[in-house]
């Protein structure tokens, strides 16, 4: 039972199995809530560390706001509230008591709260309530804050990492004195997310703007990055919202400008979540398990000794060389692990670390001692090469770099093959049903049309691409005039 279901047989089953078998996560038994296991959490830790550095480097600071939001604050920004109140966890009491004569506990009715509290689905409301206190003058601006934490949205259909009731994420909340500055911030973050996806996660993304009906509720404009998974469906990886003055108006947050005049503050919010792990899995992995880009991999190199149990002396030599190699690699700052557990066979370990997507495996047996070369196995290409172990200090960093590039290139090639411009609705339907992908097509700009297309094909408008060329055409569905192409795809 150690094999995975093949992607070609049942993609969705493959996805669930790979998560469980590589030890990333599992469902908790509480509807929609996930347990992130050590290997999964170490992936999230790597992502956090890198992204946190990128955000700090661009002047952002971390803060922490309350988990619970009073209903009256939660409900200030109308559009925002309308969506998020639809599925949220509401705290109503502060005590349980014994159910007299029974084993169980019941709510103590006397502990009813004066006002209900909502677990944050996102923190705009509680943060803008606070910014009201912190912002008086242009000297208090900009505020560039970010929060790492958990959030909760009651979801009907959940999938590990992609959509869970509780999720871990970062949410940025910034305040600015001008519209221009807030817009620049929104795009700066979109570019940070893009760099993070491309350069670290090795996931090629498309930058765009959500059509008006799909923008974040409470925002003026939602920018996003979208990536194509191996099954041709799109996954939204991150979003950056230009909030305009919606929240500053809802919470009456004004500042005194240079000229002593009062103005409403401009703002942005943006976030990426544990969903990124889903994107990583579905972008690169194969039928043997995870494939992790070296920059994200918690373990970059696994060293497996191939003992010959009949020869104790050789075993000791193998052990000694393995430790030396581990030491050399660690000194280069490489995340290496030496697995000298003797209860498992080398074959078992090979399988295990392939499943876990460790980029490079070094195996060391008696041949390796004799000719001073070690066997190097690349997880991304299944190639075996032989390198002198004395020189690993130089060759391994180069190889990790090459693997990182190769994984990105593979994903890019795959994505590019699935990008197409179409002008005929039958072709569109065919394409969506067979290979999926990003379809650039004309749209008349109405919600009605996009709904019809969704009903008939399951495809939705993922975004209006950034830097889109203006091109007059006819809507692929209605035939009505259109000024540019938008991107359709099925999605997660």
Enumerate binding residues for a copy of itself (CB under 8 A): 28-30, 33-38, 41-42, 44-45, 61-72, 74-75, 81, 85-97, 103-105, 107, 111, 116-119, 126, 129-130, 139, 145, 149-150, 152, 154, 166, 168, 343
Peptide bond into 273 cis (omega under 30): no
Nearer to a copy of itself, 140 or 231 (CB): 140
Q: Given the complex with a copy of itself, which of 106 and 390 has the nearer CB atom? A: 106
- Nearer to a copy of itself by C-beta: 345 or 430? 345
Q: How far apart are CA 296 and CA 290, in angstroms?
A: 12
Collapse the DSSP code of 211 into the 3-class scheme (helix H, G, I; strand E, B; otherwise coil) and give the result: coil
Distance CA 421, CA 437 (A): 11
Q: Cβ of residue 84: shortest distance to a copy of itself, in angstroms? A: 9
| Alpha helices (runs of H) in 121-272, residue ranges in sequence order | 124-134, 179-195, 246-250
Least CB distance to a copy of itself at residue 145 (A): 7
- Shortest CB 459 distance to a copy of itself, Å: 29
Q: Is 169:273 a contact under the CB 8 Å cutoff?
A: yes
3-state secondary structure of 115: strand
In whole angstroms, the minimum distance from the beta carbon of 168 to a copy of itself comes to 7
Look up residue 318 and give its two tokens. 């193998």
Residue 177 vs residues 27, 155, 180: alpha-carbon distances, Å: 44, 36, 9
Query: Whole-angstrom Cα distance, residue 62 to residue 53?
Result: 11
44/389 with CB nearer a copy of itself: 44
**145 vs 353, which CB is nearer to a copy of itself?**
145
Q: Closest separation between CB of residue 51 and a copy of itself, Å?
A: 14
Nearest distance from C-beta of residue 43 to a copy of itself, angstroms: 11
Closest CB to a copy of itself among 38 and 347?
A: 38
Nearer to a copy of itself, 65 or 492 (CB): 65
Angle between helices 392-417 and 312-331 (to 10 degrees): 70
Q: How far is the CB of 354 from a copy of itself (least distance, A)?
A: 21
Q: How far is the CB of 176 from a copy of itself (least distance, A)?
A: 17
> What is the C-alpha to C-alpha distance for residues 229 and 411, in angstroms, rounded to an integer?
9
C-beta of 36 vs 201, nearer to a copy of itself? 36
18 membership: H or E segment, kind and range: helix 11-21
Minimum CB distance to a copy of itself, residue 476 (Å): 37
Find the helix or strand (DSSP H, E) in which 72 lies: helix 71-74
Residue 98 CB, shortest distance to a copy of itself, in Å, is: 8
The SS3 assignment for 93 reads: strand
Can you read off the two tokens belonging to residue 33? Answer: 């809530």
Q: Which is nearer to a copy of itself, 105 or 316 (CB)?
A: 105
Q: How far is the CB of 358 from a copy of itself (least distance, A)?
A: 16
Is the Cβ–Cβ distance between 186 and 270 less than 8 Å?
yes
| 439: Cβ contacts below 8 Å, ≥ 6 apart | 420, 421, 422, 428, 431, 432, 459, 487, 488, 489
Question: Minimum distance between the CB of residue 110 and a copy of itself, rounded to whole angstroms?
Answer: 12
Give which of 286, 405, 289, 297 is closest to 358, Cα–Cα.
Answer: 297
Distance CA 84, CA 412 (A): 35
Burial class (CB in 10 A: 0-12, 13-18, 19+), 42: middle
- Residue 68 vs 464, nearer CB to a copy of itself: 68
Which residues, in sequence order, are CB contacts of 376 under 8 Å at separation 6+? 360, 361, 362, 384, 385, 386, 387, 399
Task: Report the residue number, 28 or 327, with the smaller CB distance to a copy of itself.
Answer: 28
Q: Which is nearer to a copy of itself, 70 or 346 (CB)?
A: 70
- Mapped onto helix, strand or coil, the DSSP state of residue 364 is strand
């Amino acid at each position: 039972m150690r094999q995975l279901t093949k992607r070609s047989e049942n993609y969705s089953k493959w996805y669930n199995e790979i998560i469980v078998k590589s030890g990333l996560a599992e469902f908790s038994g509480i509807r929609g809530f996930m347990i992130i296991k050590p290997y999964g959490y170490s992936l999230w830790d790597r992502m956090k560390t890198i992204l946190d550095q990128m955000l700090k480097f661009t002047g952002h600071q971390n803060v922490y706001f309350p988990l619970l939001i009073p209903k009256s604050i939660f409900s200030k920004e109308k559009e925002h509230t309308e969506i998020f109140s639809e599925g949220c966890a509401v705290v109503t009491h502060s005590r349980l008591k014994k159910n007299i004569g029974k084993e169980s506990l019941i709510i103590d009715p006397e502990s009813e709260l004066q006002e209900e509290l909502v677990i944050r689905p996102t923190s705009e409301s509680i943060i803008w309530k606070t910014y009201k206190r912190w912002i008086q003058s242009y000297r208090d601006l900009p505020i560039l804050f970010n929060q790492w934490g958990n959030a909760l949205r009651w979801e009907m259909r959940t999938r590990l990492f992609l959509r869970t009731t509780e999720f871990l994420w970062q949410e940025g909340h910034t305040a600015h004195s001008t519209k221009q500055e807030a817009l620049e911030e929104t795009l700066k973050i979109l570019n940070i997310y893009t760099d993070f996806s491309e350069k670290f996660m090795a996931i090629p993304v498309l930058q765009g703007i959500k059509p008006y009906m799909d923008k974040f509720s409470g925002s003026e404009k939602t920018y996003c990055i979208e990536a194509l998974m191996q099954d041709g469906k799109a996954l939204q990886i991150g979003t950056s919202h230009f909030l305009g003055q919606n929240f500053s108006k809802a919470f009456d947050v004004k500042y005194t400008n240079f000229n002593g005049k009062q103005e409403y503050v401009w703002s942005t919010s943006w976030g990426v979540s544990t969903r990124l792990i889903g994107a990583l899995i579905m972008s690169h992995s194969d039928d043997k398990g995870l494939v992790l880009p070296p920059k994200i991999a918690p373990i970059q190199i696994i060293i497996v000794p191939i003992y010959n149990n009949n020869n104790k002396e050789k075993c000791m030599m193998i052990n000694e060389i393995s430790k030396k190699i581990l030491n050399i690699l660690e000194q280069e700052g490489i995340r290496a692990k030496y697995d000298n557990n003797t209860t498992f066979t080398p074959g078992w370990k090979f399988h295990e670390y392939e499943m876990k997507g460790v980029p490079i495996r070094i195996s060391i047996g008696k041949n390796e001692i004799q000719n001073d070369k070690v066997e190097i196995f690349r997880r991304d290409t299944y190639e075996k090469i032989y390198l002198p172990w004395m020189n690993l200090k130089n060759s391994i960093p180069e190889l990790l770099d090459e693997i990182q590039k190769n994984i990105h290139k593979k994903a890019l090639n795959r994505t590019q093959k699935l990008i197409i411009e179409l002008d005929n609705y039958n072709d569109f339907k065919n394409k969506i049903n067979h290979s999926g992908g990003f379809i650039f097509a004309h749209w008349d700009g109405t919600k009605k049309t996009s709904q019809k297309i969704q009903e008939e094909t399951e495809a939705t408008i993922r975004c209006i691409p950034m830097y889109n060329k203006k091109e007059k055409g006819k809507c692929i569905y209605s035939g009505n005039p259109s000024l540019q192409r938008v991107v359709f795809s099925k999605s997660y």
